[in-house]
Amino acid sequence: MLQHTDCGIKGAPVARRSCVADDKIDDLAITDPYKAIAIDVAALEANPNLPDGITVTGLVYDVKTGLVETVVPATVLRHDVHQVRST
């Protein structure tokens, strides 16, 4: 998953054309992408509808520097409990 710095939804024309009231648009802005990506990954981990064995990484893209930082290292959401392990 990927979040980015400098959320531009504030004042964005696309947001203004959405079903969100003008006075609520600023509430949609991600002000802390590092916290947000951790929450996003946790939500995936808690989702029982996703299949076992999916690997997820939480990243933040810095729009000013162009750098991508790993915030949540790659992790398997759930190991398939039915999978037979070879020895």
- CATH code: domain of residue 30: 3.40.1050.10
- List the domain range (segments joined by +) for residue 48: 2-76
Residue 66 forms part of a structural domain? yes
Residue 27 forms part of a structural domain? yes
Q: What tens digit of pLDDT does each residue of 23-74 get?
A: 777 777 788 999 999 999 999 988 989 988 899 999 999 999 999 999 999 9
- Angle of CA points 36, 61, 45, to nearest 5°: 40
Residue 83 forms part of a structural domain? no
Quote the number of domains for the chain.
1
Residue 46 forms part of a structural domain? yes
Q: In terms of Cα–Cα distance, which of 25, 24, 42, 31 is closest to 3?
A: 31
Confidence band of 2 (pLDDT split at 50, 70, 90): very high
Q: What is the value of pTM for the model shown?
A: 0.72
Q: What tens digit of pLDDT does each residue of 38-50 get?
A: 999 999 988 989 9
Residue 87 forms part of a structural domain? no
Residue 84 forms part of a structural domain? no
